[in-house]
Amino acid sequence: MTHSKAERIGILTSGGDCPGLNAVIRGTYKAARQLGYEVIGFQKGYEGLVDPVSYVHLDDQSTAGILIQGGTILGSTNKGRFAAISGENTRIDLDPQLLRGVRRTIDELNVRALVCIGGDGSLAVAQQFHEQGIPVVGVPKTIDNDLSCTAFTFGFDSAVSCATDALDRLHTTAASHERTMVLEVMGRHAGWIALHAGIAGGADCILIPEIAWSYDNICSKILSRRSAGRNFTLIIVAEGATLPDGDLVTCEQTLPNRRASQPRRVEDRQVRLGGVGNIIATELSDRLHTETRSMLLGHLQRGGGPTPFDRFLATQYGVHAMRLVAGGQFGRMVCYQPPNVSDVMIADAIGQLNKVDPLGAAVQTARGLGISFGDLLPEGSVFGPVSMSASPTTSIPASSSVLLPTSGLPVPTATLSNF
């Protein structure tokens, strides 16, 4: 099918990068080409949409081989002029002049739809575009896996794989030297990476933002391991896990060179987290007079190529985004509701983050293994308190009307035949 006038699909990657972005770009491009669209990629996230407009034409050559590549060929930014939320859930209305500029770009370049790949903040921008009548489809991305309405965001599995590998490596050196090792992983609001990698990598303690912990309880765990002849301990902590006094540890606190008086740049809307693992390691060493080391895994979790699972998920997301475009279903976000890729309204997916359920199945699995979350369970309790909800990991709001499996999507027959 060829469109009379070169109708285009615009695609962009916004926010922190993660493995699988290129796989979405490729999937979208391939499906769009089959539908007869040209595809252009706006550069550096939403910034490329306006003043100055910056984009590249995507073709078979520029998308060849990118399935397995980390990062994004389009560039990305999590700073700049497009910020639609601050902190958790607080909406910031985009500058109307900026929105007019985006509209102009879309019209002048004959863009039929924008495919916006991003996390909670970036999808909140896409939602405001939708409210202004700009045709958008969202694709959820973040290694943190903290977006609602989808069981998984792509990038998460790759990050878990990296963190698990780090734990595996720390395991052997911790055992050799009889040390306590603290591994700090990403997870600003949610502890999914720490939880999954902690279980997969055999951690002894998992510390996450969703469960309050104390040094006493971690010390008890280390001591009980010692009395069982296990003279080393592996602790994994999410960067967003607050200290027992409720403090969030930021780079500003832990980087000695940064003067406290130095103003944070206006576009730095998010404080940089980092350093909680080191603080924990120091405290444990002081309390137990034991050799303790900490390791901050940082951006290694975001770099590199996607795992096969993330390639598969990201590719499905890209193709499904084009199904939505073909069906004129704008303002929707693709999502994964196992076993199917599906879609929900973007409005339903943003604002409320998907956090670890402290009473959920994964936490109970960990507790069943004897992993400590640094909290105190009632005497004799193995699994801790149990959630009443059957499936705690994904919350699909009741207002999401179209929740059909992929095969049931209301896409016109003529369009479906193109796949």
Terminal-residue alpha carbon distance, the chain: 11
What is the number of the residue whose Cβ is closest to ligand F6P?
186
Distance from CA of residue 57 to its chain's centroid?
27
Evaluate whether 323 touches 34 at the Cβ level (below 8 Å): no
Interaxial angle between packed helices 192-200 and 361-368, expressed in degrees from 0 to 180 and rounded to the nearest 10: 40
Question: From the CB of 382, what's the least distance to ligand F6P, in Å?
Answer: 31
| Contact set with ligand F6P (CB under 6 A) | 16, 78, 119, 142-144, 186-188, 239, 272-273, 302
Q: Nearest distance from residue 185's CB to ligand F6P, in Å? A: 8
> For the chain, what is the largest distance between any 2 Cα atoms, rounded to a whole number of angstroms?
76
Of 131 and 165, CB closest to ligand F6P: 165
CA distance 19 to 311: 8
Least spacing, CB of residue 159 vs ligand F6P, in Å: 8
CB of 404 to ligand F6P, least distance (A): 30
Q: Where are the beta strands (DSSP E) in 119-223?
A: 136-140, 180-185, 205-207
CA distance 249 to 232: 25
Cβ proximity to ligand F6P, 120 vs 348, nearer residue: 120
Beta carbon of residue 109, minimum distance to ligand F6P (angstroms, whole number): 29
CA dihedral 290, 193, 352, 315 (to 10 degrees): 170
120, 144, 157, 310: the active-site residue: 144
Distance CA 373, CA 64 (A): 44
Rounded to 5 degrees, what are φ and ψ at 295? Answer: -140, 130
234 Cβ neighbours under 8 A, 6+ residues apart: 167, 170, 171, 174, 180, 181, 183, 201, 202, 203, 204, 205
Closest approach of ligand F6P to the CB of residue 298, in Å: 8
Reference 111, options 137, 82, 74; nearest CA is 137
In angstroms, the CA 325 to CA 414 distance is 14
Nearer to ligand F6P, 186 or 321 (CB): 186
Active site residue 144: yes
Q: Which of 192, 232 has the CB closer to ligand F6P?
A: 192
Q: Quick check: 411 and 327 in contact, CB under 8 A?
A: yes
- C-beta of 119 vs 360, nearer to ligand F6P: 119
Nearest to 160 by CA among 193, 202, 204: 193
**Amino acid identity of 91?**
R
What is the enclosing helix (H) or strand (E) of 237? strand 233-238
> Least distance from C-beta 79 to ligand F6P, angstroms?
8
For ligand F6P, give the closer residue by CB, 275 or 384. Answer: 275
Q: Of the two residues 15 and 331, which places its CB atom closer to ligand F6P in the complex?
A: 15
The residues assigned a catalytic role are 144
